[in-house]
Structure 1
């Protein structure tokens, strides 16, 4: 088998894009057979690369890496065996020269996305356009003729290239890098949005802020990430929401300076308009979306610090609620644990404001403790309940003389593991190992 035919046979059939929804057994059987054939082809390719790598042209190297990368993941066309062989091949290209990355961006990435130009980008420069190309219907046109979806695994190639580009080379390669990223990030399907968010996150670790600002792409990324927070009922939602929140936070930190009004304003938009305004009002019956958003809160709270004070009323109400919900409302242990961890972060961020909220917090913590003390509850839940009490005692020492003695007077035995033994001394309550 020639190198050209081997690489051609590794082209992933587009039917894999709908693999989980295919009703025809014959089509499934054909695709499964292709997986087996692809594994054998990868083994042959591995042998060829091992023997001929020193003589391969730049184009051949780019084609080999691109064909192999689509098997380095957890996609429906990938088997454990094919992934293992693909990773062995890719180890031979683990420190690629920049010309190879450029070759792949020019000839293995750009052609796949060329027919689907982003309406807000100048494809020649990678700069943001003053107004969308194509007029009011440009966004709709953007979703037509998505030829890149006929090449499953294209995002793997984009990610690999992003990971290999040195910071100093981003400006030169910007027109090749940003169009495929924006195509993924602004797609209407959550699974492609998730790939775009993950690639963006990797890029933000390397790209100079000056490139983002000068080209205006920082605002495009911010808007796209915000739209990702509206995806509340897709299978990818539990992964997409925290990834989008984390990446948005990274973007804000990259593009603003510590202590600046601009950083404060953008963090407030992320928390207030994004999480509180776009996710929580629509997540009462979508526990996975609610859980994902709350799990992403602590890093944001830590960066925003005392700025969270303007949102304490809604934050504490939302985080306390899952601890002791009404009978007809749903909760879960993971949601309770995530809420407690977020509460601890908020207590640490706004200690001066806790005197006003200590009663609300302790009411929820105490009710939750009563429901788990006599059950075989997750020890992590008990630990997080105790941790909230510890943080609250440090932030608001008055609870040691006022609230905690009332709990202990009501039932010293039950609350000892939560608050520590009864004591008149002013100190944070000790915690027993509840494992």
Structure 2
């Protein structure tokens, strides 16, 4: 049995899936559902044909077409039938160690045509380098969002991700002009869902790409600016995933392209904390709990790396992190925020031990109020983790400020031993 030179056209995902959550027309939903179920036998047929052949007997184009068509079912997307995903995994297992020529074939002939009609205004598409000035003038960014042909191919990001996962570090130089344009198209899209896909791909790339390539092509600054714009997405269903992913990717990027102990690294880390989290997210998230929670959850790794450099932000950090500890209704969301705030507060205490003593009163006041609130509310399971984090902060505080063991802690215990002994136990 000879495998066809092309995979079934019916495996191309209908573009209507891009707006699936907003579709109310019952006929369209039924049509999409029928297509979704029909992909299973189609993939099974492709699977049987593939297994009947030796992979080495297939041309590079045949291999690329099979991988590209199958990858769109390699995820949790709305168009993926679980049975289709199982078959897709089996087919892709046959390409678990793809050659560089296969990755090039996919990027050149299966990915590039999807994105060629929306060139990023700040990229030279022939080299993957940053342009000195945006191509197309001041309105180039607006043109970038017009007629986005790649969005008519749902699942295109899955193909890009697979390629990035399988590019050796030594091959990025050769493939740079093929890899960066689709990643930047996703990162700089106006829809948060595509931004999130772009950040996930970038995170994988940053684990492999040499920092010298990023610096030499100028793309490091483009990526940094794009990730910074992701931090403004405070009101979308993707916010809770996008913010921590973008902060983590920004941190990885900074560590990759800046020398250890350099002024440049310190300035960029301060920019991420000061301008990014404190300046962009926190002022506008008082009524956007998911955004606030996501940013605080991402804080400890950044604080740990910045170390004593956090001291310049100590006033706002302490104020923000103790604020959720005030007595309030202990619903699940606020408990999650309290736990994350305490973990971040522990990281801040460890990072700035010399400066913490002047804040011990503020920290202890909030810790004690939160503890009393737990005891008064008589909470059970959710409070146990919260209680552990409160005790952990007290232990960290006593480690950097030993005087609290003789001065402040005994005063609390003397006031009400039944309540406070457990909080300050060592």
What RMSD in Å do the two structures reach over aligned CA positions? Answer: 1.5
Q: Deviations over 1:45-100 (max 9, x none)?
A: 11111111342111010000001101111111012211111111111100001110
Say whether the 8 Å CA contact 1:322–1:331 is kept in structure 2.
no
- The change in CA–CA distance for 1:334 and 1:34 in structure 2 (over 3 A counts) is same
Q: For residues 325 and 238 of structure 1, what CA distance do their matches in structure 2 show?
A: 24
1:365–1:385 CA contact under 8 A, matched in 2: yes
Aligned to 1:135, the other structure's residue is in SS state coil
Distance 2:65 2:286 in 1: 48
* CA distance in 1: counterparts of 2:245 and 2:8, whole angstroms: 33
Paired with 2:4 and 2:156, the residues of 1 have a C-alpha distance of: 20
Q: Which residue of 2 aligns with 1:372?
A: 374
Is 1:417 matched with 2:422? yes
Structural mapping, 1:43-54, within 5 Å: 43-52=44-53, 53-54=55-56
1:3 to partner: Cα distance:
3.5
Higher mean displacement: 76-85 or 9-18: 76-85
Q: Distance in 1 between matches of 2:70 and 2:328?
A: 52
Structure 1 residue aligned with 2:19: 18
Distance 2:407 2:81 in 1: 60
Contact 1:389–1:419 (Cα < 8 Å) also in 2:
yes
Structure 1's unaligned 5+ residue stretches are 421-429, 431-435
The offset of 1:180, in angstroms, is: 0.4
Return the alpha-carbon distance in structure 1 between the equivalents of residues 248 and 29 of structure 2: 37
Measured against aligned partners, the alpha-carbon deviations of 1:226-255 in whole angstroms (never above 9, x if no partner) come to: 000000001000000000000000000001
| Matching residue of 2:403 | 398
Bigger shift: residues 217-226 or 364-373: 364-373
Equivalences for residues 249-268 of structure 1 within 5 A: 249-268=251-270
CA deviations over 1:383-409 (Å, ceiling 9, x no partner): 111111111110111110111011101
CA contact (8 A) 1:132 1:138 kept: yes
1:326 CA drift (Å): 6.5
Where 1:23 maps in the other structure, the secondary structure is coil
In the TM superposition, residue 257 of structure 1 has moved relative to its aligned partner by 1.4
Decide whether aligned partners of structure 1 residues 88 and 378 sit closer, same or farther in structure 2, where only a CA change above 3 A counts.
farther
2: CA distance between counterparts of 1:369 and 1:378?
10
Residue deviations 1:31-53 (CA, integer Å, cap 9, x gap): 01101101111111111111113
Return the offset for 1:378.
2.8
Give distance in 2, aligned partners of 1:4 and 1:362: 70
When residues 20 and 199 of structure 1 are mapped into structure 2, their CA distance, relative to the original with a 3 A threshold, is same
Structure 1 stretches of 4+ with a deviation exceeding 6 A read none
Spell out, residue by residue over 1:172-229, the C-alpha distance to the aligned partner (whole angstroms, 9 max, x if none). 1100000000000000000000011111111111111111111100000000000000
1:337 aligns with 2:367: no
CA–CA distance in 2 between the matches of 1:164 and 1:232? 33
2-structure distance, mates of 1:272, 1:331: 25
Aligned mate of 2:413, from 397, 408, 412:
408
Residue in structure 1 matching 2:278, options 276, 296, 300: 276
d(CA) in 2 for partners of 1:7, 1:106: 20
1:127 aligns with 2:129: yes
Aligned 1:29-178 pairs, distance under 5 A: 29-52=30-53, 53-178=55-180
Contact kept, 8 Å, 1:7 with 1:64, in 2: the verdict is no
Select 2:220's aligned residue among 218, 221, 224: 218
Structure-2 separation of matches of 1:24 and 1:30: 10
Give the gaps of 5 or more residues in structure 2. Answer: none
Q: How many Å separate the matches in 2 of 1:387 and 1:334?
A: 16
Taking the aligned partners of 2:13 and 2:167, their CA distance within structure 1 comes to 26
- Please tell me whether the aligned partners of residues 321 and 342 of structure 2 are also in contact (alpha carbons under 8 angstroms): yes
- Residue aligning to 2:301: 299
SS at match of 2:119: coil
